[in-house]
Amino acid sequence: MKKIRIRLDELLKEKGYTQAQLADAIEVRRATIHDIYHNKSKQLPIDVLNKITNELKLKSIDKLIVIEEIEE
C-alpha cells in the first residue's frame, strides 16, 4: 500500500525554520502548518502549497510531497 507523506518536518529543519516562523512568513494559521507538519491534514490547498514551496525556495514539489510504501 502506498501513502502520501508531506516532508515539512525535514524541510523546516533543513532550512532552519520553526512551524511558527513558516506560518507567520506565509500568513497562514499556525494550526494549519502544525497539521501539515504532522501529516494530519485531510486537505492541502494549492495556495498553501504554493506559499510553502515559494518561502522554502523549493524547485520541485517532490521535495515536499513523497509517496511511500507502507506495510499493511
- Cα–Cα distance for residue pair 68/6, rounded to 1 Å: 10
* Tens digit of each residue's pLDDT (9 = 90 or more) over 1-42: 999 999 999 999 999 999 999 999 999 999 999 999 999 988
pLDDT at 71: 82
Whether the pLDDT of residue 72 is over 90: the answer is no
pLDDT of residue 70: 85
Domain span including residue 23: 2-69
What pTM does this model have? Answer: 0.88
Total tally of structural domains belonging to the chain: 1
Torsion angle defined by CA atoms of residues 60, 65, 69 and 70, in that order, rounded to the nearest 10 degrees: 160
Q: What CA dihedral angle connects 27, 28, 29 and 30, to 10 degrees? A: -80
CATH of the domain at 23: 1.10.260.40
Q: Which three cell numbers stand for residue 52?
A: 510553502
pLDDT at 22: 98
